[in-house]
């Protein structure tokens, strides 16, 4: 049975990584086109205005995780009769949540956009259009959550990958149209990004209705079900809002203290972070359902194996990507955007360090979600996150530069990870902190040190930027894989990895 699970994980991982590579390449090229078409000021305006709603966009992934947790848990516990009730109750909850967002967005949010942000007066009308499009894009994203969550819980990653790839292709198409459309480019861009979630919502509804029996709405009056869903979702939502507070509220603070140009540099850096998140999310999407199902089955031995292997897979893959980017960020930005500056380079480097630290958190969060004991975990873990916002404000008021906001969130992420480990030990008895340190953290620190040292030596030794980039990429990949295989994996994990690769090839 475990072999069958591993085969499915391997297949879904390969599928989702192909999807991730295609989507990431399209999205990165799209950013370049949009930046060139809109110009630095309009691009900064879009990111700060839409950021007020984008701050809530991550809510959709959190709500999807909450709903998906219940789907996967009951599938793992072989209680499929509950699935339609979960779907219908989720629909009711998310529609109500959408109405609340619209009311708040058209009152407090609208006031904030027009009175508190630093925007050029001649672009205020365009900014309001962007804001309205962003609100209703968010509503479409929220309503599709119960459908996409069912798809992921059933581990049907092919359909999920197809829809997300088409979304990226549409973004590219609209970015190309920016150069020829005889309209206000900023307004057109906002309208096009509203159309994409509308089409996605229709696709998810049609596919869900035809493919999954639970995606048929029925009246649900079980108060305990609503209570459980709302409780779990609300604490997941709290964590999400705290996390987006790091990015989007700090984006607003950067706008207030440093203006739209600094916002554009920050937006480019956050695109780099988004690419890293896409990389990790692809693997986590494949392993999350089987991890939750294993917990529901009481198969803790297999769950522990996936936990340690997923930690290592995500972190070491990111090391192979992040180290060359950190050393050669100026070259990469020039190839990507055909322009660069010292502020954007520094922002992007700091974001990559933040992404590496955050990659350690995801397997822990999946196990906590599987246990359902999310309340105390969310409260304690997000305290450093919430404190990062007033800390950033304080540093800005004291005259510190814009990059200090990234230093603050890096420190907050380190503290939050320590708290996560404490919570994991409290809620999951199988976890052993000493084993975690010996099996993962200490080898990871040593391997990271070696790869960084080698990257630095080649960085200062080679003059040609393109040759240097190629050599550092090669060295990073080669030596990371070598040291991970020799030092980073246990004998059992090496056997498991070989078996997964063999099954994936077949």
Q: What is the mean pLDDT of each run of 10 residues along the chain (506 residues)?
A: 59 68 76 80 75 59 69 65 78 84 85 79 83 85 82 74 84 86 84 87 88 80 75 69 69 81 81 77 75 81 85 86 88 80 87 89 85 80 84 89 89 91 88 89 91 90 87 89 84 72 64
pLDDT of residue 216: 80
pLDDT of residue 449: 92
Distance, CA of 70 to CA of 66 (rounded, Å): 7
* Ramachandran quadrant class, 462 (left: phi over 0; alpha: psi -120 to 50; beta: rest): beta
Output the CA torsion sign for 102, 209, 166, 185: negative
Q: Exposure string (b/e) for 342-361, b if CB count within 10 Å is 16 or more?
A: ebbbbbbbbbbbbbbbbbbb
Enter the tokens of residue 464. 């040609």
pLDDT of residue 259: 78
Instruction: Please give the backbone phi and psi of residue 340, each rounded to the nearest 5 degrees, phi first.
Output: -160, 165
Distance, CA of 304 to CA of 4 (rounded, Å): 17
Distance, CA of 179 to CA of 173 (rounded, Å): 11
Q: Exposure string (b/e) for 119-138, b if CB count within 10 Å is 16 or more?
A: beeebeebbbbbbbbbbbbb
The domain segmentation of the chain, as residue ranges, is: 2-505
Distance, CA of 59 to CA of 244 (rounded, Å): 9
In the three-class reduction of DSSP (H, G, I as helix; E, B as strand; rest coil), residue 77 is classed as coil
pLDDT of residue 445: 92
pLDDT of residue 378: 79
Instruction: Centre a 10 Å sphere on the Cβ of residue 483 and count the other Cβ atoms it contains.
Output: 17
């Amino acid at each position: 049975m475990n072999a069958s699970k591993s085969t499915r994980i391997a297949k879904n991982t390969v599928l989702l990584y192909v999807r991730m590579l295609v989507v990431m390449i399209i999205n990165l090229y799209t950013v370049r086109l949009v930046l060139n078409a809109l110009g630095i000021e309009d691009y900064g305006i879009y990111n700060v205005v839409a950021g007020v709603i984008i701050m809530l966009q991550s809510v959709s992934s959190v709500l999807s995780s909450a709903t998906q947790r219940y789907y996967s848990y009951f599938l793992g516990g072989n209680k499929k009769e509950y699935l339609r009730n979960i779907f219908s109750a989720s629909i009711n909850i998310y529609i109500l949540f959408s109405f609340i967002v619209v009311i708040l967005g058209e009152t407090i949010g609208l006031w904030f956009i027009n009175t508190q942000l630093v925007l050029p007066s001649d672009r205020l009308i365009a900014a309001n259009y962007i804001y309205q499009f962003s609100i209703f894009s968010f509503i479409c994203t929220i309503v599709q959550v119960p459908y996409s969550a069912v798809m992921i819980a059933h581990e049907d990653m092919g359909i999920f990958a197809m829809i997300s790839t088409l979304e990226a292709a549409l973004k590219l198409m609209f970015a190309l149209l920016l150069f020829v459309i005889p309209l206000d480019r900023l307004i057109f861009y906002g309208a096009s990004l509203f159309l994409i979630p509308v089409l996605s919502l229709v696709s998810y509804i049609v596919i869900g209705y035809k493919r999954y029996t639970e995606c048929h709405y029925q009246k649900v009056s079980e108060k305990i079900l609503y209570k459980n869903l709302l409780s779990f979702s609300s604490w997941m939502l709290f964590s999400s809002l705290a996390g987006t507070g790091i990015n989007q509220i700090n984006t607003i603070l950067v706008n207030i203290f440093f203006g739209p140009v600094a916002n554009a540099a920050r937006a480019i850096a956050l695109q780099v972070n988004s690419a890293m998140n896409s990389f990790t999310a692809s693997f986590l999407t494949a392993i999350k359902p089987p991890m939750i199902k294993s917990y529901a089955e009481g198969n803790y031995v297999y769950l522990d194996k996936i936990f340690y292997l997923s930690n290592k897979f995500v972190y070491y893959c990111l090391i192979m990507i992040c180290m060359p980017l950190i050393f050669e960020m100026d070259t990469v930005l020039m190839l990507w955007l055909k322009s660069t500056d010292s502020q954007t380079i520094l922002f992007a480097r700091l974001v990559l360090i933040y992404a590496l630290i955050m990659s350690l958190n995801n397997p822990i969060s999946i196990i906590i979600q599987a246990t359902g004991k999310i309340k105390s975990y969310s409260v304690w873990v997000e305290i450093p996150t919430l404190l990062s916002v007033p800390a950033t404000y304080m540093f800005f008021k004291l005259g510190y530069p814009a990059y200090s906001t990234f230093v603050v969130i890096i420190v907050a992420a380190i503290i939050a990870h320590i708290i996560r480990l404490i919570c994991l030990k409290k809620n999951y008895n199988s976890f052993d902190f000493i084993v975690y340190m010996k099996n993962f953290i200490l080898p990871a620190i040593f391997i990271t040190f070696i790869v960084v040292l080698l990257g630095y030596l080649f960085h200062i030794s080679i003059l040609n930027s393109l040759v240097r980039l190629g050599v550092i990429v090669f060295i990073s990949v080669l030596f990371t894989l070598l040291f991970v295989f020799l030092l980073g994996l246990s004998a059992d994990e090496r056997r498991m990895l070989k078996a997964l690769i063999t099954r994936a090839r077949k």
